Amino acid sequence: MELRNVAIIAHVDHGKTTLVDNLLKQAGAFRTNQVVADRAMDRNDLERERGITILAKCTAVEWKGVKINIVDTPGHADFGGEVERILSMVDGAIVLCDAAEGPLPQTKFVLTKALARGIRPIVVINKVDRSDGSPHAVHDQVFDLFAALGATDEQLDFPTLFASGRQGWADDSMEGPRKDLSAMFDLILKHVPAPGKDVDAPFAMTASILEADNFLGRILTGRIEQGTARVNMPLKVLRADGSLVETGRLTKLLSFRGLERVPVETAEAGDIIAIAGLENGTIPDTVCTPEVTEPLHAIPVDPPTLAMTFRINDGPLGGREGKKVTSRQIRDRLFKETESNVAIKVKESEESDAFEVAGRGELQLGVLIEQMRREGFELTIGRPRVLTRENPETGDREEPFEEVLIDVDEEYSGAVVQKMSMRKGQMQDMRPSGGNKQRLTFIIPSRGLIGYHGEFMTDTRGTGIMNRLFHGYQPWAGPIEGRRNGSLISNSDGEAIQYALFYLQDRGTLFVDPGVKVYVGLILGEHSRENDLDVNPIKEKKLTNIRAAGKDEALLLIPPRRMSLEQAIAYIEDDELVEVTPGAIRLRKRYLDPHERKKHARRSDSEAA
């Protein structure tokens, strides 16, 4: 059977997973009476809740006798480790752009990788039914982006489709019949080259995706680069440096049909398959027959730019909510994560019972923490910090910078520009983007963005959109002012009392509700001033035998500020931690005892001096 391997490239929320749903339905991958959830490719709970694709997934459909393997790639740059491997499995790509928003940073990120591999993409302008859409202007923007990224003349001569993934149609012009996606299927067959097949060579493939299955064990997915795979054939696994990892047998060979993996006896070069039977093979090892001596070329993954410290939960409430609380359990889980997620690096920390976890960004590490929380782990997480490097030629200290694209109402642009410049951001471009909006482009140190998103949403009244992309390393930009406000810190153990919180809310913004368990060193809220303040959240009203008019009126509390996991991690300072358990996210001081805090603060001040 003829083959086509194609990836779908798009920015977060531009509709690629919804489009894949309709491709599957119209190609007959589902029975007519089969109940299928929306966004069937996003099978992970976190993906459904956040509306983003985190893990790359493969599916396959048949159209006019040709098998089309479709890979749904993550749209966020934090999951770039997935993207780079996926592009090594395909021969073509569909670049999906929103008809109103146009090409955004994550589209640019994946597209850069695809063009560098020589892929000739198909451009799809999606959501053309949006009232604020301008499909032809977006088409011009995509062409300009291709040119800016150094596309060849062949790549610049890209075919374009106009589509509505939600309505399930795509046509080569805006005036098309708008019936179905057959124009997209036909264009894939015509434009995407069939994989080059060397069936006679010994079998070899690069592992691109690693999963764990309750019945089959470890499953490696990748494209067969050469030869034919057969069930029960002997295999060996080679590292990128040529060293032998293990030998074994191919116990189960799986091919993709719709959303399912089905067992097959053989598979030829060019097809994307999943194999079981290997215990130690991982990404991006070469799986091959014993006669192969050289590993296949594997794509190097961009290095991590951000690190956090994962520690045991040593607070007074530690061990009450989670089942996995020891440093050994945390260590095993983190090192298991590095097997399947090549963009994450883990090493033992200098602190006891702590580990340094490095990744691409706050979102990627936040997703890992959320997954561990749902698995029953208790952790405390330190403030994110960027990973610097030394320039090999000059010896200067360099730090990661990001390109930030901001869409904001014109009335708020002044506040955004001011805040970005305070954080060492340099404006590259400022232009109108339709209506009363402006599009601002900045180059800014990655550490300047830590903790900024919440402030940005406040400054733009929740209407601003900020997208970011790793730009590269540049010389250290100097000190950046952090959070200005101090913390309200509990000086007592017990349960927060409404009476006490009512009088504390004049001191700042509270994070806790009445009845919540508190302990010495827990952060109750943000102080209205720059200094930290120890307060008593369990103080009760003194009772007397005199009842005065107006004294017993209801004490009305302002609703506390709720923080997501990422917001909490970005909010804390160096001397603070986020306590993460299956039931709660709390902020606390690193040193709970006030005397211990003062001692370490004096030591830090003397070292700084």
438 class by beta-carbon count within 10 Å (0-12 exposed, 13-18 middle, 19+ buried): buried
Amino acid at 65: G
Whether residue 520 contacts residue 540, with contact meaning beta carbons closer than 8 Å, is answered with: no
16 in a labelled binding site: yes
**DSSP single-letter state for residue 383:** P
Find out whether the peptide bond into 284 is cis, omega within 30 degrees of 0.
Answer: yes
Contacts 24+ apart (CB under 8 A), 237-240: 237/278, 237/280, 237/281, 237/285, 237/286, 237/287, 237/288, 238/285, 238/286, 238/288, 238/292, 238/294, 238/295, 239/285, 239/295, 240/284, 240/285, 240/286, 240/295, 240/298
* 126 labeled part of a ligand binding site: yes
User: Looking at this protein, which amino acid is placed at residue 309?
Assistant: T
Annotated binding residue 42: no
> Does 25 carry a binding-site annotation?
no
Confirm whether residue 18 is marked as ligand binding.
yes
Identify which of 371, 363, 338, 463 has the alpha carbon closest to the alpha carbon of residue 413.
463
Task: For residue 17, say whether it is annotated as part of any ligand binding site.
Answer: yes
Flag whether 453 is marked binding.
Answer: no
Side chain identity at residue 352, one-letter code: S
What lies within 8 Å, CB to CB, of 512 at 6+ separation is 496, 501, 518, 524, 525, 537, 560
Strands 306-311 and 379-381: antiparallel
> Do the beta carbons of residue 445 and residue 480 sit within 8 Å?
yes
CA-closest candidate to residue 162, choices 129, 192, 191, 128: 128
Residue 156 is inside which H or E element, if any? Answer: helix 153-156
Which residues fall in the annotated binding site for GTP? 13-18, 126-129
Q: Annotated binding residues, as ranges? A: 13-18, 126-129
